[in-house]
Amino acid sequence: MMNDKSSGPYSKNSAVLLWFAWIFGFGGVHRIYLGKPVTGVLYLLTWGLFGVGQVLDLVRLGGMVERANAKELRAGRGPHGLLAKQNSIGLLPQGPTGDPEELARLKLLAAAAKHGNALSVTQGVMATGKTFKEVEKLLDQMAKSGYVGIDNDPTTGAVVYTFGELS
C-alpha cells in the first residue's frame, strides 16, 4: 500500500480527492490527473462509465498512483517531478538534464530514497538499467565527491552506499 510520502509527483490523497469530483458529475478527473487523458475524457462523458469504472478505480487507485509515479521516474523526471515542471516552462530545453550520467545519478538518488536512504550496486543497476561496472563507477564518484558514504549491510555484509542527506 502506498503512503503519503510517495516518490513521485502524484499523490494518492490528491487522486482520491479528484475521484470524489464524480459525485458532482465530473467522473474521470483523477485519470486526467494521473496522465490518462483519453480514458479520463471517456469517463467524463459517460459519468465514470456509468459509475462502474469509477467504483473500480477507487479500489485500484493506489496502484494507479504508483504506476504513474513509476512512469515519471522512468522518464527521468526525478523523485518529485521537479524536472518535469522545469521542462514544461522551458527551463531545460535539452531534456531532463542534458547529461546521461547526471540522469543516472538522479535515478540512483530516487532509488536510494525508496530503499531507506541506502543503495547497493545491484539496486542501482535495477533502478538505472546500466551495467554493474557503470553503476559502481557512478556511486564511487559520488562517494569521492562527498555526496554518499560507503558502509556494509549489517545482515549480508554487502557494500552499500548511504545517502545521509536524505534522512
What integer is the mean pLDDT of 145-166?
86
Residue 39 has pLDDT above 80, yes or no: yes
Which CATH code, of 1.10.8.620, 3.90.550.10, 1.10.10.10, 2.30.30.90, is assigned to 99-166?
A: 1.10.10.10
Which 3 state secondary structure label does DSSP give 38? helix
Chain segment 93-118, per-residue pLDDT in tens: 344 446 788 888 888 888 888 888 88
Residue-range domain boundaries for the chain: 12-74, 99-166
Instruction: Identify the pLDDT of residue 52.
Output: 93
Candidates 81, 60, 75; CA nearest to 10 is 81
Instruction: Identify the pLDDT of residue 103.
Output: 85
C-alpha dist (Å) from residue 39 to 27, 64, 100: 10, 13, 33
pLDDT category at 58 given cuts 50, 70, 90 is very high
